[in-house]
Structure 1
């Protein structure tokens, strides 16, 4: 159950997509003065060393963030992609990128004094690392680390006091039931707090559940009468068609991933329409690199 460690995958192409979307979403939500609550259901360790044993073993950051900060990277990036690169650089000194901020540290860097950040992490090692990393911030009551099941734990915070919230959900999906739990979480979240923003990351792999998930989330949003946005980034060819009973694909071979948002900021779609083509071009690992973006609702 506790085999997945994001340290092996920190800074890969999926993180580029996920964290670009996170930053662009938060930038919009934080334009209003009212307090915002951010709920991170699978927070991980929070900070990662790209020159450490885990990241070096997989080398995934080389085809992710490292391509965007290398001297060969374009000097002009789409604003959403540039904001992401600037965020990562803010955690590093000098030209070398050794530290990668996970979603907890990206969110905390953007939040204001009146905002709150709830971080859920069940992996015992990552939970200890997360608590230690957050303690260095001396953020006080602004950030809470909870060693709980994030799928269930967010319930007690919805709706939040100021009735403004962003839920970020990005489980490992190593357990097949995670796909169903994501759907159940979104359905319950919309009942508890219909106007909250929910952002779900998922891997696009040769597993039926992975291909069904965005369709199921789209149906949920449509039935609830809520706007939605679905972005995907493919960096290389893979088994695009799901096969019944297919074994899970190892994360180092991840060919693509997606972000599905309910109640997305209206500014996000145009930002991604500019950034996604550049992501696909710069992070391409073969001729199959591609992107997609669709949305609907009011």
Structure 2
């Protein structure tokens, strides 16, 4: 599956990913200690939803546009993060610009926190550097998996690593699993967030089994299935694996997940979004 960010900006997967990422970082920031936030596959950082690549798929209509049409206050933090890159005049309107994870993470930084970004794609790294100009982010252009391990352990006692691959390569899941195992040996207490698309349920079950065999405790799987029955050969949803999610985050998760499910349910479908521990 090819999942280059610019073609899918603001879709339902982004709404879930960014809604949960904001809640996760905010939960960690209930403690004053500094955080290092790391994004291994940062993409362009900022996307024009009326640009050619986003318009070619039109996926934002089923994602951020639905989230903006919904009035559940549990989505207010997500909507505020999107509004922040669109200007006060556009508040309440369907957004023109969509912030990728780097711009969202930059908004969440406190003075004591740090942000380190990585993107290997030559076009995207140029866009990322432009999008992050004026922020405190450090930007790298390296192999994502080498970069992931090189950044660990973080300089601050606490940190979050976001791993958001395009899943273009057939061995992408294997590289994620192998690097996660090595990263956990170096940084067992750290928080790691791994995004994944859901297309083939059998493939996903096999990958979950592989990750389960790593024996990592406190390993949460959040899965968002858009349709009431699997749709063959198309995108069926997405989710996050989260290692060491903080207690404040997991306690507040059920109502947030329900708010996301309700806002993003396609016409004629209820959909399912659920969180389960891999190793219990």
Task: Give TM-score, length-normalised by structure 2.
Answer: 0.91
Q: Please give the secondary structure, in 1, of the residue aligned with 2:76.
A: helix
Q: Partner of 1:254 in structure 2?
A: 235
Q: Does the CA contact (< 8 Å) of 1:202 and 1:210 recur in 2?
A: no
For residues 97-112 of structure 1, the aligned pairs below 5 Å read 97-112=95-110
Partner of residue 274 from structure 1, selected from 237, 255, 275: 255
Q: CA deviation at 1:108?
A: 0.7
Structure 1 residue 209: Cα displacement: 3.8
Q: Aligned partners of 1:291, 1:12: CA distance in 2, in Å?
A: 16
- Map of 1:178 onto structure 2: 172
1:295 and 2:277 correspond: yes
Partner of 2:11: 12
Separation in structure 2 between the aligned mates of residue 69 and residue 12 of structure 1, nearest angstrom: 12
Q: 1:20 to 1:265 in 2, by over 3 A?
A: same
Aligned counterparts, 1:155-174, within 5 A: 155-174=149-168
Number of residue pairs aligned between Structure 1 and Structure 2: 275
Displacement after TM superposition at 1:260 (Å):
0.9
Check whether the contact 2:72–2:259 (CA below 8 A) recurs between aligned residues: no
The answer as to 2:215 corresponding to 1:233 is no
Partner of 1:145: 139
| Equivalence for 1:84 | 78
What's 1:51 paired with? 50
Q: CA RMSD in A?
A: 2.1
> Is the CA contact 1:20–1:84 (under 8 Å) kept in the aligned structure 2?
yes
CA distance in 1, matches of 2:177, 2:144: 14
Q: How far apart, in 2, do the equivalents of 1:5 and 1:23 lie?
A: 22
User: 1:237: Cα distance to partner?
Assistant: 5.2
In the alignment, structure 1 segments of 5+ residues that lack a partner are: 242-248
Per mean C-alpha deviation after superposition, the further-off stretch among 26-35 and 43-52 is 26-35
Contact 1:229 1:269 in 2 (8 A): no
* Alignment partner of 1:206 out of 196, 200, 206: 200
Cα pair distance change 1:119/1:176, threshold 3 Å: same
C-alpha contact (below 8 Å) 2:228/2:272 kept by paired residues: no
Q: Relative to structure 1, is the Cα distance of residues 217 and 124 closer, same or farther in structure 2, using a 3 angstrom cutoff?
A: same
- Partner Cα separation in structure 2 for residue 260 and residue 112 of structure 1: 25
1:154 aligns with 2:136: no
Cα separation, partners in 2 of 1:292 and 1:214, compared to 1, 3 Å? same
In structure 2, the residue matched to 1:284 is 265
Give the Å deviation of 1:118. 1.3
C-alpha distance in structure 1 between counterparts of 2:278 and 2:203, whole Å: 22
The TM-score, its normalising length taken from structure 1, stands at 0.85
Cα deviation, 1:175-194, whole Å, max 9, x if unaligned, reads 11110111112111111111
Structure 2 residue runs of 5 or longer lacking an equivalent are: none
Partner of residue 113, structure 1: 111
Question: How far 1:216 moved relative to its partner?
Answer: 2.5
